Amino acid sequence: MDLLQTMRTHDLEEVVAIYDPATGLLGYVVIHDTTRGPGIGGIRLVPYPDETTALLDGVRLAEAMSRKCALAGINAGGAKGVFIDHPGITDRPAMLRALGRYVESLAGRFYTSGDLGMTPADLAHVGETTRYVAVPDDQRLDLAGATADGVVQAMRAALQVAGRSGDLAGVRVAVQGLG
């Protein structure tokens, strides 16, 4: 894959390839657009089959974050951290601290939080070495549950916009992008 061509095709501002041989950290930070403010987006740590798949997922997600920020009127742009979870990672906390050091080196161009494969405890390890990560005060916070609640609230609001009550009983819905 031609990285510069990918950056031109998707109008990316910055792609940082990250490899830390001491911890096995391997992946990318993709910054799509910082016109409205710093790039924001979560960190994914999943068993991508290869670097190209990870990079393209990061590109897609960073672009989506730019759109979400613009639609929400947030003074930020889109970015994403995508990292490959693999058996060579033997000390996860050390790998996460290394990740935090890379985030810190971006000097505020990338603010992050959790996404797939990351737990509140993982974010706390990242937060040991960077100030640019949102770490829940209560590490038992159920991020997946909070996301699910947000989806349910959005469905109720959509029904009300359509002139129906917010009662979901008997309503059929399709959820796109699950997982």
In a domain, 161, yes or no: yes
Average pLDDT score, the chain? 90
Active site residue 68: no
Its pTM stands at 0.80
Residue bearing the bigger pLDDT, 120 or 51: 51
pLDDT digits (tens, 9 = 90+) for 64-116: 999 998 988 889 999 999 999 999 999 999 999 999 999 999 999 999 999 99
In a domain, 105, yes or no: yes
Count the domains in the chain. 2
What domain range is 80 assigned to?
3-127
How far apart are the C-alpha atoms of 128 and 65, rounded to whole Å? 25
Confidence of residue 122 (pLDDT cuts 50, 70, 90): very high
DSSP string, 150-169: HHHHHHHHHHHHTTS-S--T
Is 160 found in the same domain as 77?
Answer: no
The one catalytic residue among 32, 44, 80, 125: 80
In a domain, 133, yes or no: no
Q: Are 77 and 33 in contact (CB under 8 A)?
A: yes
Is 81 found in the same domain as 26?
Answer: yes
In a domain, 167, yes or no: yes
How far apart are the C-alpha atoms of 113 and 97, rounded to whole Å? 14
